[in-house]
Amino acid sequence: MPTLFNKNNMIILSFYFIIFFTVVFLTSHQLSGHNYASDLSTHILFIEPLFEGSVYIPHPLWHIAVHYMTYITLDVKSAATIVNALFVVMWIYIVQMIYIYFVGKEKKNNYTYVFLFIIFIIGPAYIPFLTKYIIAGTGSPNIWNSATLIAVKPFALLAVFFTILSLEKKHTYYYILSAISLLISIYAKPSFVIAFLPALILLMILKKFYSKENMTYVAILSLISIGSLGYQFLHTFGEDKTKIIISFLGVWSSASSNVLLSILLAILFPLFYLIFNLNKVKENNYLVLTWFMTFISIIYAAFLAEEGDRFYHGNFFWSYMISLSLLYVFTLIDYFKNIPSIKPYIKLFLNIILSWQVLVGLYYFIAIIMTGGDPAGVVDFSNFLK
């Protein structure tokens, strides 16, 4: 008779406990006074004014969660730590369920925890001595210094998953779940939806998803999203507030001497998987949608900025970070699903690229973030040459 303490359940529980306490340690470290450029402390300062009604926050989901968590912890920093960890665990669990959906329960134990560890830790490719930063100017599928980015990832993932199911299966249940996920994501971080909606429209045109149900669904989704975004825009970028301007590579070039190289390093594994498996990728609507999102978010990052003091904040890069996360999730699911059928020499090459990016992500997570360094990933290799 199965019990909570059988071998499989203990492995699952242990894995998620490790993830939870790793993020607890990470967040605690960010809040412990180290010279770490995280936005956690800033967002904590917004919580009380938000509930007093003296400040407007367009994406209050994280702040609301932390506020109510303080009823349990009685301390806002402890609440922020636990909320961050719970959002990450929620995201990893959703990734696992989607992985099992595609790969099948009979295969789930073969690679599941290797796959989840890769998703959790993977970073961009990095070339020592050629690029100064691991993250800044390059981007990454995993960013650890933004509370709102951590909060939006579970709902962005659900929105993409249920939206494609809706378009393919035209089931009311999936339409409702995708709409709810998308609406929550807007109030977690609207950077997701501004890349998702145009990408979804492009996908519908490309794949001719012209059924009455799909057209009605996307129209309703667009009205809800545009209405919510319009309200947020007016309260964030209205008169006497920060304005959006066009500045081609103005922000990007400040962190990267070669923007094209930076983009290639960020998307290296998905790009090679696309090249070697073009026909399979074209048939996978999840991958087509997330590739569209990535291209659209690159355009945002390249052309848009905020005027004035917030110019170098790079807030139009968040869509790119979210798109990269989704692109890697669905690319790696497809890769793990099709590993047996991939030619050995292609598999070897892809595994080398994947291992490289996993090691970069692990180095970034441990040696830079957890020791309180710059989250941009400034690497001074002179220390290794002494």
Quickly state the pLDDT bin for 310 (edges 50, 70, 90).
confident
Give whole-number Cα distances, 103 to 37, 68, 115, 312, in Å: 39, 37, 12, 42
Residue 9: both structure tokens together:
């359940």
Name the domain count of the chain.
1
Scanning the chain, the segments in alpha helix (DSSP H) are 7-30, 40-52, 61-73, 76-103, 108-121, 147-169, 172-188, 193-207, 212-236, 252-255, 259-266, 268-276, 278-283, 285-303, 318-338, 344-363, 382-385
Bridging pattern class, strands 244-246 and 304-306: antiparallel
pTM for this entry: 0.93
Asked if residue 350 is part of any domain, the answer here is yes
Give Cα 204 to chain centroid, integer Å.
23
* Side chain identity, residue 260: L
Torsion, Cα 297 193 20 365, to 10 degrees, reads: 10
Asked if residue 2 is part of any domain, the answer here is no
Mean of all residue pLDDT scores within the chain: 88
Interatomic CA distance for residues 15 and 9, integer angstroms: 10
Q: What is the mean pLDDT of residues 262-270?
A: 97
Please check the confidence at residue 151 and state whether its pLDDT lies above 50.
yes
pLDDT of residue 386: 43
Please check the confidence at residue 108 and state whether its pLDDT lies above 60.
no
Asked if residue 386 is part of any domain, the answer here is no
Please check the confidence at residue 115 and state whether its pLDDT lies above 90.
yes
* Percent share of the chain, pLDDT over 70: 89
Asked if residue 220 is part of any domain, the answer here is yes
Please check the confidence at residue 209 and state whether its pLDDT lies above 50.
yes
Q: Is 305 helix (H, G, I), strand (E, B) or coil?
A: strand
| Range name among 3-7, 151-155, 187-191, 291-295 with the lowest pLDDT average | 3-7
pLDDT tens profile 57-82: 889 999 999 999 999 998 999 999 99
Quickly state the pLDDT bin for 380 (edges 50, 70, 90).
low
pLDDT tens profile 21-60: 999 988 887 787 655 667 888 899 999 999 998 888 889 9
pLDDT tens profile 318-349: 999 999 999 999 999 999 999 889 999 999 99
DSSP string, 185-206: HHHH-TTTHHHHHHHHHHHHHH
Asked if residue 69 is part of any domain, the answer here is yes
Give me the domain span that covers residue 106.
Answer: 7-381
Phi, psi of 324 (to 5 degrees): -60, -45
Please check the confidence at residue 96 and state whether its pLDDT lies above 50.
yes
Asked if residue 1 is part of any domain, the answer here is no
